[in-house]
Amino acid sequence: AFFWLVSLLLSSLIWFIAVKASDPQDERLQKGLLIFGVMFSVLLQEAFRFLYYKLLRKAIEGLVALSEDGCSPISIQQMAYVAGVGFGLMSGAFSMINLLADALGPGTVGIHGDSQLYFLTSAFMTMVLIFLHTFWGILFFHGCEHRRWWEIAAVVIMHLTVSGLSFCNPLYVGSLVPSYLLMAAAAAWAYLLSGGSAQNLRRFLLCKCCSRK
């Protein structure tokens, strides 16, 4: 969460400088700066995810050196999951803070004929980003651990795509549906990389069904 906050601080600083140095009356320029700010923030978040991986790798090496059996008590998969959850929860918290600030008013959602589902769809978008950050953490760390740079590139591309889909709003279907499809794909991918299989999933579901009976 701290690493995500630092990346947000740096991207906010760049955004603030760019806005102050530009003409606020030029709508086309401001829209271009907004797109640049979103893309730059995504790349900065992924850069800090990589820095966090390097830090955790050093921590694991230290734990192995101190342990009696030469094994780390925490696996890289566990750290990847926790790192992803930290990124996702902090991202979701800031999204909700902005929404709650908008909800204080003044004004009424949809009063000019726009969609009245702004807060509902924003909540669904926040939820999907929390889950995606969790799955991206697993995929990203696995790519770094096994030097599969295409997995890292896939995470960056998915992150850029989901963030770019927000520009489809207020056409919320155009942003929510593709984002949830990407989340399902990322969840399945992360499940397989974590050692899951269709057989394990089937056993889990069968145990659930038996316990209910």
- pLDDT tens-digit map of 171-183: 778 888 999 999 9
Buried b (16+ CB within 10 A) or exposed e, 125-162: bbbbbbbbbbbbbbbbbbbbeeeeeebbebbbebbeeb
- pLDDT tens-digit map of 136-171: 999 999 999 888 999 999 999 999 999 988 888 777
Long-range contacts formed by 25-33: CB under 8 A, 24+ apart: none
pTM of the model: 0.85
C-alpha to C-alpha distance for 164 and 172, rounded to whole angstroms:
13
Q: Where are the domains of the chain?
A: 1-211
